[in-house]
């Protein structure tokens, strides 16, 4: 039996950006302000404050990414609380918390979360007719991983 999770019409969207991409994310969010106003927004610390100021609306803020915010967002995705991750990450700059970034993206993909890592993909997602209604997401079955025996 395939398990599903219902995403409501009002989506819970996590917005995250590396330092060199914060300006791009803020500009994108301002451009999409009307659409984003229909949804609940979450973010890591600094990015959340910038978004809140620019959009003039509340954003639920986690810790800063490098000190646990990425992991907090990842946990919310794994628990089925976050529906979508918009993560403008910087592919050209080494990040001191690169392992956290990889973990966040891995968790998002593992739980079939809607993910955009660049403006073009984020634009396509936000303008999709699926943004307007409820949507059923298939939840992967990882029970086989839990049953594996570790042999030494």
Catalytic site residue 70?
A: yes
H-only helix segments in 63-118 = 69-78, 98-110
| Residue of 73, 80, 18 whose CA lies nearest to 47 | 18
Task: Give me the catalytic one of 70, 90, 100, 118.
Answer: 70
Q: Sheet containing 40-43: which strands, arranged edge to edge?
A: 60-61, 40-43, 12-17, 84-88, 114-116
Tokens 């969207």, residue?
A: 13
Whether residue 100 contacts residue 72, with contact meaning beta carbons closer than 8 Å, is answered with no
Contacts of 84 (CB under 8 A, 6+ apart): 11, 12, 13, 14, 113, 114, 115, 116, 125
- Residue where the block lists tokens 């966040």: 104
Catalytic residues: 70
């Amino acid at each position: 039996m395939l398990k599903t999770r219902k995403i409501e019409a009002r989506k819970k969207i996590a917005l995250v950006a590396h330092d060199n991409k914060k300006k791009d994310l803020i500009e994108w969010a301002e451009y999409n302000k009307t659409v984003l106003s229909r949804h609940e927004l979450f973010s890591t610390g600094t990015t959340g404050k910038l978004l809140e100021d620019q959009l003039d609306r509340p954003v639920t803020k986690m810790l800063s990414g490098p000190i646990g915010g990425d992991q907090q967002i990842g946990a919310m995705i794994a628990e089925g609380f976050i529906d979508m991750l918009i993560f403008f990450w910087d592919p050209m700059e080494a990040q001191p918390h690169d392992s956290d970034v990889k973990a966040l993206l891995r968790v998002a993909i593992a739980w079939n979360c809607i993910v955009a890592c660049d403006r073009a993909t984020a634009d396509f997602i936000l303008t999709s007719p699926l943004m307007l209604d409820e949507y059923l997401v298939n939840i992967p079955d990882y029970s086989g991983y839990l049953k594996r025996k570790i042999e030494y």
